[in-house]
């Protein structure tokens, strides 16, 4: 079983390596100190298992998983209990709340061994966990996208508008556009409603980029944005704009 350790704390990585000495069936392919390194290592080594910290600089563990083409088995390691850990219990293989003992670590590895026999089903569970993860109260302040082999972090303040495209959402910035496998409902829930308004079932706009709201055909409107894009406005979307701007 090939594993990668991804944790920004050197002592945490050393502890996992020490525990793994008693598990010769697990090979450490690489250890990484942040999500960017981790994403690159996963693409290079194609591991069976990740020991993945949640709270890390640059990319969180969750954001790193979002940019992977193929998600290995994941055992989360975290010093915090505020990341909807109960939601992981039925979806991730396991989570380890720091500081964890050698015995608790062995329990997690045994779970991996049991479930690795049905890898495809387990990967589906992890993907479902990621889809359902954003149950946190705080708003999203950045979006992670993948362009070729590179990972880009976009502050949400730089999003001009979002457009639904089947099971994906196209994110538009002044620099370009990026496709994410998410839903409009996800962004409607996660983006700050004071800053982003869903003006149409297929469009969410950043109000800072509105150039003007103009009539379009009979009893309908559209929005001209500062980047020269034009998006339609539904009746419910127009109502939301009126409520937002008090006109």
User: pTM to 2 decimals?
Assistant: 0.68
120's enclosing H/E stretch is helix 119-132
Task: Tell me the per-residue pLDDT of 194-247, one tens digit each, with 9 for 90 and over.
Answer: 999 999 999 999 999 999 999 888 778 999 999 999 999 999 999 999 998 887
Contacts of 239 (CB under 8 A, 6+ apart): none
170's enclosing H/E stretch is strand 168-173
How confident is the model at residue 83, as a pLDDT? 59
The structural domains of the chain, with segments of one domain joined by +, span 2-132, 142-245
3-state helix, strand, coil in the chain (%, to 5): 35, 30, 35
Alpha-carbon gap, residue 17 to 77, rounded angstroms: 13
Nearest alpha carbon to residue 35 among 84, 85, 74? 74
Q: In whole numbers, what is the pLDDT of the chain averaged over residues?
A: 88
Architecture of the 142-245 domain: Beta Barrel (2.40)
How confident is the model at residue 116, as a pLDDT? 79
Residue 74 sits at the vertex; the CA angle it makes with 68 and 80, to the nearest 5 degrees, is 105
How confident is the model at residue 132, as a pLDDT? 66
Task: Classify residue 175 by its DSSP letter.
Answer: S
Task: Tell me the per-residue pLDDT of 100-148, one tens digit each, with 9 for 90 and over.
Answer: 999 999 999 999 998 877 766 656 676 676 666 555 445 678 999 988 7
How confident is the model at residue 91, as a pLDDT? 55
How confident is the model at residue 123, as a pLDDT? 64
How confident is the model at residue 90, as a pLDDT? 36
| pLDDT (average), residues 141-164 | 91
How confident is the model at residue 86, as a pLDDT? 40
Residue 88 pLDDT class (50, 70, 90 cuts): low
Look at residue 87 and tell me whether its pLDDT is greater than 60: no
Look at residue 46 and tell me whether its pLDDT is greater than 80: yes
How confident is the model at residue 100, as a pLDDT? 93
Query: Which of 3.20.20.140, 3.40.50.2300, 3.40.50.300, 3.40.50.2030 is the CATH number of 2-132?
Result: 3.40.50.2300
How confident is the model at residue 220, as a pLDDT? 86
């Amino acid at each position: 079983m090939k594993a990668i350790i991804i944790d920004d704390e050197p002592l945490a990585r050393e502890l996992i390596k020490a525990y793994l000495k008693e598990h010769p069936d697990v090979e450490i392919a690489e250890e990484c100190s942040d999500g960017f390194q981790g994403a690159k290592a996963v693409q290079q080594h194609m591991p069976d298992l990740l020991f993945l910290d949640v709270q890390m600089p640059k990319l969180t563990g969750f954001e790193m998983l979002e940019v992977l083409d193929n998600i290995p088995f994941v055992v989360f390691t975290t010093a915090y209990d505020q990341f909807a850990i109960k939601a992981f219990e039925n979806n991730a293989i396991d989570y380890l709340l720091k500081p964890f003992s050698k015995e608790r670590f062995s329990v997690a590895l045994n779970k991996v061994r049991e479930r690795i026999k049905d890898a495809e089903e387990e990967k589906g569970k992890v993907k479902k966990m990621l889809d359902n993860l954003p149950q946190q109260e705080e708003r999203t302040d950045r979006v992670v996208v993948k362009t070729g082999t590179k990972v880009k972090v976009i502050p949400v303040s730089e999003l001009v508008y979002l457009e639904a495209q089947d099971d994906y959402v196209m994110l538009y910035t002044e620099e370009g556009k990026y496709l994410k496998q998410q839903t409009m409902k996800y962004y409607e829930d996660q983006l700050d409603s004071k800053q982003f308004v869903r003006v149409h079932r297929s469009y969410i706009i950043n109000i800072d980029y509105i150039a003007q709201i103009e009539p379009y055909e009979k009893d309908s409107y559209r929005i001209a944005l500062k980047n020269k894009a034009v998006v339609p406005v539904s009746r419910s979307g127009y109502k939301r704009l009126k409520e937002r701007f008090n006109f």
